[in-house]
Amino acid sequence: MKLTINGEEHEVQAGTLAELLQQLEFEGDWLATAVNGELVQKAERADRRLQDSDRIEVLSPMQGG
């Protein structure tokens, strides 16, 4: 399955968003996720099924003004 993660294409096998994060070693309670421009809350990641061509954003806290 081909996914775009933070703007880069990846070939991965993951049923859900939670599985994908684990596979790619995205860890920590500070991450925010979105799939195809829609927020996926922390608690929903285990239920969020992924499909080929999905666009995923994984963000984390950063310095800001």
Partner 1 sequence: MPLFYGTEIRSRLLLGTARYSSPAVLAEAVRRSRTDVVTVSLRRETAGGRQGGAFFELIRELGVRVLPNTAGCHSVAEAVLTAKMARDVFETDWIKLEVIGHQDTLQPDVFGLVEGARILTGEGFEVFPYTTDDLVVAERLLEAGCKVLMPWCAPIGSAMGPQNMQGLRAMRAEFPDVPLIVDAGIGRPSHATTVMELGYDAVLLNTAVAGAADPAAMAEAFAMAIDAGYAAHGAGMLEPRDMAVPSTPVIGKAVFS
Q: Which residues bind partner 1 (CB under 8 A)?
A: 5-7, 24-28, 30-34, 37-39, 41-42, 57-65
Distance of CA 32 to the CA centre of its chain: 8
Contact between residue 50 and residue 5 where contact means Cβ atoms under 8 Å apart: no
Shortest separation between residue 50's beta carbon and partner 1, angstroms: 16
Q: How many residues does the chain have?
A: 65
- Select 23 or 53, whichever has its Cβ closest to partner 1: 23
Shortest separation between residue 47's beta carbon and partner 1, angstroms: 15
Shortest separation between residue 59's beta carbon and partner 1, angstroms: 4
Distance CA 64, CA 14 (A): 33
